[in-house]
Amino acid sequence: MSSRLAFMLSSALVSLALAGPALARQAEPTSVDAVVVTGSQVRLPPPYAGGQVAEGARVGLLGALDTIDAPFSVTSYTEALIRNQQARSVADVLQNDPTVRVTKGFGNFQELYVIRGFPVYSDDMTYNGLYGVLPRQFVAAELIERVDVFRGANAFLNGAAPGGSGVGGAFNLMPKRAPTAPLTRFTLGWDGGEQIYGSVDAARRFGTDNAYGARLNLGLRGGETAVEGENRKLKVVGLGLDRRGDRARFSADLGWQDHRID
């Protein structure tokens, strides 16, 4: 009897000894690294691989959204595509989109865009989300960093177009901004007929943390086109200023364009 009691006591002591470290391990605190999530409704979405289209677009009052999160079909064409294709106007960029057809107005050289069978007047395009600030009939590519194409009903996001068009879709043009790295680009070219072209694109950032930026675009095109007897002249100046901070962002855009066809 005594031997059995001694065996039971020794077994209990061994069990307590084994359970002690287990309790100590459970009491050790667990540390978890902090997770910081940042986002912006102002910054432009980055381009996809190849740089021709972006991962998202500015979707009206919803701000910048990825394509898969947008409430309708949207495509954003980048500055790289505009430059690589040597686009002269918005029409040259929109010809990349299979849902858009580009034509001309009646009795003038106004560019008219047809999306999903419905017209969109050049007066009804937005510039950084605003109506009524773009040149009429023709918008030079030198003023544009992104071309956003919206397909479908969009008045609840962009507002009603002043010209009453835009039933099948809408177009938003994004102004150029100074990148982080300094930019100086000169372009000289010759087009069909006797058209000579030259442009300057210069941008700098300065101040604390490069908070202030300025980007200047100058363009000049002139001469006889491939159409006999037709002469086109284009002069364009664009200046984009911005300040980006932790609490607020400010921007201003100044532009002037003179487009003549004789």
Interval 42-71 mean pLDDT: 86
Characterize 199-228 residue by residue with b for buried, 16 or more Cβ atoms within 10 angstroms of its Cβ, and e for exposed: bebebbbeeeeeebbebbbbbebeeeeeee
For 129, list phi and psi in degrees, rounded to 5: 90, 0
Looking at the predicted structure, is the pLDDT value of residue 229 above 80?
yes
- Domains of the chain, each with CATH number or no CATH: 56-174 (2.170.130.10), 183-261 (no CATH)
Secondary structure (3-state) at 225: coil
Q: Please answer whether residues 154 and 137 qualify as being in contact, where contact means their C-beta atoms are separated by less than 8 angstroms.
A: no
Give the per-residue pLDDT at 70: 85
Closest among 58, 79, 61 to 172, alpha carbons compared:
58
Question: What is the rounded distance in angstroms from the CA atom of residue 61 to the CA atom of residue 249?
Answer: 16
For the whole model, what pTM was predicted?
A: 0.79
Looking at the predicted structure, is the pLDDT value of residue 149 above 60?
yes
How does pLDDT run across 170-218, given as a tens digit for each residue?
999 999 999 999 999 999 998 877 889 999 999 999 999 999 999 999 9
Give the per-residue pLDDT at 101: 93
Looking at the predicted structure, is the pLDDT value of residue 1 above 80?
no
End-to-end Cα distance, the chain: 122
At 16, the pLDDT band (50, 70, 90 cuts) reads very low
